[in-house]
Amino acid sequence: MPTYQVFFTEQAAAARDRLDDEQRAAFDKGISLLARDPFLDLSRPISATGDDRTIRLTQNILVEYTVSMGRLLIFIVEVFNDKDVLVTDVNG
């Protein structure tokens, strides 16, 4: 099975480069799996054509990407952490 070439926008690359070592290892593993099959069942289309997609690589890292002509362009890398949560207790 051919692997897709992976490219990053400047914004996505900057977010990737800010990951700590543990996050980066998990991120790289996720991108490697995605490069083999960008249409995994866990990914969701975010465009009518289905070529623009989103997937959570880890519990805290979401990427948005587009697939075209053997290329995978990562255009958003979003990193979540518990400090970003507005409501932490729905019962309180």
Neighbours of 89 (CB within 10 A): 6
> pLDDT confidence of 67, banded at 50, 70, 90?
very high
The CA dihedral of 80, 74, 17, 62, to the nearest 10 degrees, is 10
Report pLDDT for 2. 73
For residue 74, pLDDT beyond 80: yes
Read out DSSP for 13-27? HHHHHTS-HHHHHHH
What digits encode the pLDDT tens for the residues 12-52? 999 999 999 999 999 999 999 999 999 999 999 999 988 99
Quick check: 53 and 45 in contact, CB under 8 A? yes
